[in-house]
Amino acid sequence: MTHAPATLLAAMIDGTLSSDDEQALMDAARHDPAVMADLLDLLEADAIFRWEARAAAKVRIETRRPPRPLPQGEHPRTVGVSAVAAALLLATAAIAIYLFALTPDPRPLIPDAFPLATVLGTSPGSTLIANDTIVNPGTEFTRGETSLDTGSAEFRLDNGVNVRLTGTTRLIVHDPMRATLAAGAARFECPADAVGFQVAVPGGRIIDQGTAFDVEIDASGHARVGVIEGRVDLRSTASTEPVSLGEGELGVLYADGALARGIPLPPPIVTYDLAPLPTSPAGKPSTGTHVDRINRPAAVIDDPAIPDGDWTVSLWFRRQSPQLDPHTVYLAAVGNRTSIDPGWSIVIGSGRGELGGRLVVRLSSGAQVAAATGPVITDTRWHHVAMVYDRAAGRVRGFLDGSANAWTPGGGGAQTDRVSPPLSTDFSEPLRLGLIADNVGAGQPPVPIRLRDVQVFHHALSPLQLRAAYRPHGDAATHHATDDPTYPPPVSPSLSEGDLQR
């Protein structure tokens, strides 16, 4: 009796095909392309399931097995070439197992009850959930999904990989060598023993080569990657050629598998390079741009195009003297002429006040103030400063030279960097660039600070995007690639500097 192709195919996959049926199946496949296509698809699916099931089981066993201690007095022996080859093959197979990340799947192929991570800490007000359970510092958890609502949380996998989640983030830990970042941002610090640790993202995988690196997934599923130290490989689902990123380098693994070095920024709404402003015959800006300490800014932009939503204002500034100004200097401001006036500002606090010359970003409705305080800058190099407003979170953040590390909540009367409910930023005020505090009289020495490349973005740029804004070429060396060693790389080569000291 000849069975239907479906029966033959089912028996073939499950290994119960008789000799006669096998001949019938071959005949059917030879004469019917549809049967051949079914045969190939079923064989491939069967192989994939076996491969993944075996890999998952192998990883589970290997990660739980303690190292065998050498008996006292025993020394490693010289091994033959065949043993080395076998070891290489095993290593190759092990690496291969780790290289093939599963796509995000909250249900692991093989359940694993063994804990593989320990929570190190969470920031105040944040909640870390692992496998549907809130976990606190010291708690161990098993493979599966971890999610963070806000703030930051840190945990360590049992192979020493340190994972720090920031903001609303979902990370699926498959095993100590593989995780999938489904949303949000995370930093991974991998010890030498964990070389090969990989993070799957929608467009491919990020494979550690002994390093620490940041990954952010944006709303479109694109993964931005920044290497802090060491090296990582970006391996796309669409390409066999990985892109290798070294220390300080940035890259993007797009959701469709495309790879790029560097992180492109969204186009700014507007860029003010200050140079095109009309100037007087004496070489000074002609209209409302003379800083004479009677409340007149270096530049006024009547329609600054600041959206009433998420935004980022980014600029470069340089002190021309290390001496701190006795008055507050507004590098950029819309309203907000005192810390509680409605509006927002990026300021250098008065050298005499409690801020002691620190950088401050501040947003105020009059009743509510959100602010963040940064470091004191006394050198005369060019620095990049950015203020980011995340409307949904009601949060302002400051970044200096691509980093938010030195910034703390509060400053100028504010106790927090958040406001609730989030503020509208439609202040109907012009944008003023380079402004001295209102109550300073004329005739005093000019402000020895210069500004350039002021940009407004209709996005709350991410930390890695701001790192890219600070390093537009992804290479710290470019900061010194001009005649003036204190000069930053221009945002655009055609832009020239503006100067508050007029």
Give CA–CA dist 457/462, Å, rounded. 12
Q: What are phi and psi of 12, to 5 degrees?
A: -65, -45
For residue 47, what are the contacts with CB-CB under 8 A and spacing of at least 6?
Answer: none
Among 83, 87, 88, 477, binds another protein (CB under 8 A): 88
Specify the stretch interacting with another protein by CB under 8 A; choose among 84-92, 321-329, 445-453, 464-472.
84-92
Give CA–CA dist 76/82, Å, rounded. 16
Write down the least CB distance from residue 234 to another protein, Å. Answer: 12
Under the binding rule (CB under 8 A), the answer on residue 6 touching another protein is: yes
Give CA–CA dist 328/343, Å, rounded. 16
For residues 107 to 146, the per-residue mask of contacts with another protein, x marking binding by CB under 8 A and - elsewhere, is: x-xx------------------------------------
Under the binding rule (CB under 8 A), the answer on residue 36 touching another protein is: yes
Instruction: With beta carbons less than 8 A apart as the criterion, state whether 188 and 205 touch.
Output: no
Among 14, 132, 303, 484, binds another protein (CB under 8 A): 14
Under the binding rule (CB under 8 A), the answer on residue 9 touching another protein is: yes
Write down the least CB distance from residue 32 to another protein, Å. Answer: 13
Residue 211 exposed, middle or buried by CB count within 10 Å (0-12, 13-18, 19+):
buried
Under the binding rule (CB under 8 A), the answer on residue 22 touching another protein is: yes
Under the binding rule (CB under 8 A), the answer on residue 43 touching another protein is: yes
Exposure of 276 in the CB half-sphere (CA atoms within 13 A) = 8
Among 29, 225, 263, 431, binds another protein (CB under 8 A): 29
Among 20, 34, 53, 480, binds another protein (CB under 8 A): 53
Under the binding rule (CB under 8 A), the answer on residue 31 touching another protein is: no
Under the binding rule (CB under 8 A), the answer on residue 84 touching another protein is: no
Under the binding rule (CB under 8 A), the answer on residue 89 touching another protein is: yes
Among 34, 85, 87, 481, binds another protein (CB under 8 A): 85
Give CA–CA dist 260/163, Å, rounded. 24
Specify the stretch interacting with another protein by CB under 8 A; choose among 12-20, 161-169, 414-422, 477-485.
12-20
Specify the stretch interacting with another protein by CB under 8 A; choose among 86-94, 164-172, 425-433, 464-472.
86-94
Under the binding rule (CB under 8 A), the answer on residue 381 touching another protein is: no
Which residues is 171 bridged to in the sheet? 146, 181
Specify the stretch interacting with another protein by CB under 8 A; choose among 25-33, 218-226, 348-356, 446-454.
25-33
Give CA–CA dist 222/206, Å, rounded. 12
Instruction: With beta carbons less than 8 A apart as the criterion, state whether 451 and 488 touch.
Output: no
For residue 481, what are the contacts with CB-CB under 8 A and spacing of at least 6?
Answer: 489
Instruction: With beta carbons less than 8 A apart as the criterion, state whether 41 and 13 touch.
Output: no
Write down the least CB distance from residue 448 to another protein, Å. Answer: 50
Give CA–CA dist 325/192, Å, rounded. 48
Q: How far is CA 391 from CA 370, 459, 464, in A?
A: 12, 10, 19
Under the binding rule (CB under 8 A), the answer on residue 149 touching another protein is: no
- Size of the residue set binding another protein (CB under 8 A): 57
Under the binding rule (CB under 8 A), the answer on residue 57 touching another protein is: yes
Which residues is 147 bridged to in the sheet? 129, 170
Among 34, 54, 321, 481, binds another protein (CB under 8 A): 54
Tokens 């380098």 label which residue?
A: 249
Give me the helices (H) in 70-225, please. 81-99
Q: Which among 389, 390, 397, 464 is positioned nearest to 222, based on CA atoms?
A: 464
Under the binding rule (CB under 8 A), the answer on residue 92 touching another protein is: yes
Grouping H, G, I as helix, E, B as strand and the rest as coil, residue 490 is coil
Write down the least CB distance from residue 108 to another protein, Å. Answer: 9
Residue 416 exposed, middle or buried by CB count within 10 Å (0-12, 13-18, 19+):
middle
Under the binding rule (CB under 8 A), the answer on residue 96 touching another protein is: yes
Specify the stretch interacting with another protein by CB under 8 A; choose among 103-111, 370-378, 423-431, 459-467.
103-111
Tokens 């949303």 label which residue?
A: 183
Residue closer to another protein by CB (options 61, 70) is 61
**Would you tell me which residues interact with another protein (CB under 8 A)?**
6-7, 9-17, 19, 22, 26, 29-30, 36, 38-54, 57, 85, 88-89, 92-93, 95-96, 99-100, 102-103, 105, 107, 109-110, 233, 235, 237-238, 240, 242, 256
